[in-house]
Chain A
Amino acid sequence: MLMDNLAVLVLAGFVGFAVISKVPNTLHTPLMSGTNAIHGIVVLGGFIVLGAGADGVLNKILLVVAIAFGTINVVGGFLVTDRMLGMFKAKAPRSPEGSR
């Protein structure tokens, strides 16, 4: 199980490397924000540990805070990225007309 997971880990690293190495300067800020949203996936860790029946008040409080943090990371991250990219969206259909 560990070895399978390590194999996945290494391959995912190379995939990340290959996909990202071709980004134009302009998109660096949205890209950072987008990848930032993706690591919010840790919220799943919170679901699993809390869902597996963590008991005790402190454990529960810590995990609820962790899930709230993870959710902020995911929801906020994707929304902010979308707002940044909204500018490119408005731009694309207009530019062919503008160049007439």
Chain B
Amino acid sequence: MSWIHDQRLIQGLYIVAFALFIYGLMGLTGPRTAVRGNLIAAVGMAIAVGATLLTPGLGNWWLILLGVAIGTAVGIPAARTVRMTAMPQMVALFNGVGGGAIALIAWVEFRTSEGFAHEPAYVSVASLFAALIGSVSFWGSNIAFGKLQEVLPGRPIGVGRLQQPLNLVVLLVALACGVAIVAGQRSEVLVVGLLVAAAVLGVLMVLPIGGADMPVVISLLNAATGLSAAAMGLALDNTALITAGMIVGASGSILTNLMAKAMNRSIAAIVAGGFGGNGSSSTLAVAGDRATRQVDAADAAIQLAFANQVIIVPGYGMAVAQAQHAVRDLGSQLEARGVTVYYAIHPVAGRMPGHMNVLLAEADVPYEQLKEMDDVNGEFSHTDVTLVIGANDVTNPAARTDPGSPIYGMPILNVDDSRSIIVLKRSMNRGFAGVDNELYFDPKTSMLFGDAKASVSEIAKELKEQ
């Protein structure tokens, strides 16, 4: 049975595994093949795990099984029971534990190799890089989770102007520890210092970032974890880690870039401190003394019933209220009355790109009715009623008109072009970016306060009686 522990067999299986990863990811690029793609990637992972367990002379079997058992016992229920609205923070959490795993492995490597005493320099450099990024990713992801789960306040928390010098100092401390280790210092205080400094850096980097930027941050941390997995692969001379980690690093970078672009922001600006606090103060001041118009469900139903074209703009509020089925019912009722209905999907509506598409697809809204921002923006000017359901920042005209606004320059849905606007909202609370929405004070806009699902069902009920 010696062949089964042959290093070439393991290497061969790794090649099969990363081929499956790439094939699986190709599948994930189309709606029809995506489910299979994910499955194929999972099979690749199973093969890579199996191959690694064939490594000659592998010991500590019970402990390995114990770790896997704990991970499975935690991971499966978490993934099974998470609500659709909570998916983004779940991804953040899964990403974080991956980073945490890397940091811990690097730490143990340091301990078992007596501070990399007998290793070539590149092993220590790669391990320490992996440790640093892994620790940043773990703590940063946990803060992102806390913000999205609303355990922590979503608004930016920071120390203002001192933020960037402070971050830089903490980064330099981490790097100094790393350099000292590579230079031959063997003290464990250094590696712990590196991990702690990286942890502080992760927290400091994510805390000042406003909730609206959080998807970009999660994506960025996802890419970072991939890169640190690749670095760990270099240190351990493991092809599977190098290829899989690097593919994730590359894909995550692209996704991050796409998401940042959709918000007309640079990744550097987001990381450098999120939405600045200066601009928002000017818009805050005017909010208090202006009135909004309110409407009740019956009025809203009448307006909708006599419209020729209605555009529904879903946002996070729809996701929170799980209102997608009610929204679909309302949409179908309007269609049955001969009203043209579209759904306008902003690229970053909700908490992640595609968040709204996923929810509306769940409610069986036909694909043809889902319009992306660039396709739908011309439609608003000949739309009678736009129904905004729990979307806020992505409809704020300040992004076009007020250079002082923190969201200035972000492409938005031109909801204010339509003849009238009905906004369903829980309260006058601000959106995730923490700024007031000019749209609500537009004379064409009327507000219907309440839970999105209750309001939509109410409108649908009134509509039946028309």
Contact = CB atoms under 8 A, between A and B. Distances in A.
Interface of A: 1-2, 5-6, 8-9, 12-17, 19-54, 56, 58-60, 62-89, 91-92, 94-95, 98
B248 A26 contact: no
A89 to B, nearest CB: 5
A41 B107 contact: no
Nearest to A92: B32
B53 A47 contact: yes
B367 A5 contact: no
By DSSP majority rule, is chain B's interface helix, strand, loop, or mixed?
helix
Contacts of B70: 64, 68, 71
B355 interface: yes
Nearest to A73: B98
B364 A80 contact: no
Contacts of B234: 2, 5-6, 9
B94 interface: yes
Nearest to A81: B38
A84 B358 CA distance: 7
Contacts of A42: 98, 101-102, 105, 229, 232, 241, 245
B85 interface: no
B55 A48 contact: yes
B347 interface: yes
12 contacts: A12-B244, A23-B29, A37-B42, A38-B21, A39-B245, A42-B98, A49-B108, A50-B63, A68-B74, A69-B71, A75-B71, A95-B367
Q: Which 3 A-B pairs have the closest CB atoms?
A: A71-B71, A67-B67, A16-B250
Contacts of A28: 255, 258-259, 352-354
Interface in B293-312: none
A46 B67 contact: yes
A2 B242 CA distance: 11
Given A34-B41, A80-B90, A19 B75 contact: no
B42 to A, nearest CB: 4
Contact of B222 (A35, A46, A63, A75): A35
A27 to B, nearest CB: 6
A74 B250 contact: no
